[in-house]
């Protein structure tokens, strides 16, 4: 078996210009396949609320449900870095965030937690990282803030909001965040942020200049009901098995072939 992926591994990949492949998974079986396909990071996303539980947003999923799914994924894989989403209203205060992050790590086996938000989360990120909880920040489109944003819209297209996202990325890194997910932002902004930060920047609908790419498993397999995000690609379409589709995704990310121009926002 190859060496276990750590945050230091991802930092070395960024420094070497090697792309990082990230997939979501929600149970042991798919986690096992993702590991075999060579992903560096598995994200137990709150997206499970939509693609597994059938809700129309990520808001209803609970901490207990995230712990449950994280533990299943943890039992199914050994090499990838395991990141767990902190669900809506689980990190309203630094103390609440620490309690819930502790559950995701101790009961679920997560190596890192991911939380959405910019300037308002800086104190929480610092509180967690000062207490040995690794944090992945998340900027751009924030699904947990969908009602506040008024829908699933590209963020950072005007100069004011672009500058705000860049400043928040720097603030979060300074507060101790060791990875950042950028969702649905223009490619030029995402590239600027990726170059400005020392930590790995993982894009989803954020263009080709990020240090890595993440897709929701069901989108990547083409089994999401209804409209599929324009930044996604059905990797199952030309493959004969789920593992082959995952491997095709990983190879496309590593070679810099995904995302392509049609998956990017300008």
Percent of the chain exceeding pLDDT 90 equals 88
Summary mean pLDDT of the chain: 95
pLDDT at position 146 is 62
CA distance 6 to 227: 35
- List Cβ neighbours of 131 (8 Å cut-off, separation of 6 or more): 98
Residue of 35, 116, 183, 187 marked catalytic: 183
What integer pLDDT is reported at residue 2 of this predicted model? 78
CA distance 105 to 36: 23
Q: Is 168 one of the annotated active-site residues of the chain?
A: no
29-33, 71-75, 147-151, 190-194: range with lowest mean pLDDT: 147-151
Question: Mind listing the pLDDT tens digit for each residue in 105-117?
Answer: 999 999 999 999 9
pLDDT at 31 over 60: yes
Residues whose CB is less than 8 angstroms from the CB of residue 46 and which lie 6 or more positions away in sequence, other chains included: 58, 61, 66, 85, 87, 88, 143, 144
What is the percent of the chain where pLDDT is above 70? 97
Stretch (H or E) spanning 140: strand 135-140
pLDDT in tens, 116-165: 999 999 999 999 999 999 999 999 998 776 656 555 678 889 999 999 99
Per-residue pLDDT, 155 = 87
pLDDT of residue 266: 84
Give the 3-state secondary structure of residue 81: strand
> What pLDDT does residue 1 have?
55
Strand partners, 114: 85, 136
Q: 259: cis peptide before it, omega within 30°?
A: yes
Angle at 183 between CA 53 and CA 39, to 5 degrees: 70
Query: What is the mean pLDDT of the segment spanning 171-198?
Result: 97
């Amino acid at each position: 078996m190859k060496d276990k992926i750590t945050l230091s591994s991802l930092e070395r990949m960024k420094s070497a210009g090697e792309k990082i492949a990230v997939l979501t998974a929600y149970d042991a079986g798919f986690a096992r396949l993702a590991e075999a396909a060579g992903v560096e990071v598995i994200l137990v996303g709150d997206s499970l609320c939509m693609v597994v539980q059938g809700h129309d947003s990520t808001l209803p999923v609970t901490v207990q449900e995230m712990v449950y799914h994280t533990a299943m994924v943890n039992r199914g894989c050994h090499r990838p870095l395991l990141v767990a989403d902190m669900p809506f209203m689980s990190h309203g205060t630094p103390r609440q965030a620490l309690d819930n992050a502790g559950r995701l790590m101790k009961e679920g086996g997560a190596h890192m937690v991911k939380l959405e938000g910019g300037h308002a989360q800086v104190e929480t990120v610092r509180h967690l990282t000062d207490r040995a909880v690794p944090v992945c920040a998340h900027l751009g489109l924030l699904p947990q803030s969908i009602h506040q944003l008024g829908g699933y819209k590209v963020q950072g297209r005007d100069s004011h909001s672009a500058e705000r996202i860049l400043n928040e990325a720097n603030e979060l890194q300074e507060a101790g965040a060791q990875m950042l997910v950028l969702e649905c932002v223009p490619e030029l902004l995402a590239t600027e942020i990726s170059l400005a930060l020392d930590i790995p920047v993982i894009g989803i609908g954020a263009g080709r200049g990020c240090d890595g790419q993440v897709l929701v498993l069901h989108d990547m397999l083409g089994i999401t009901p209804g409209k599929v995000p324009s930044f996604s690609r059905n990797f199952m379409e030309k493959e004969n098995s789920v593992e082959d589709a995952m491997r095709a995704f990983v190879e496309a990310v590593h070679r810099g072939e995904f995302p392509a121009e049609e998956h990017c926002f300008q």
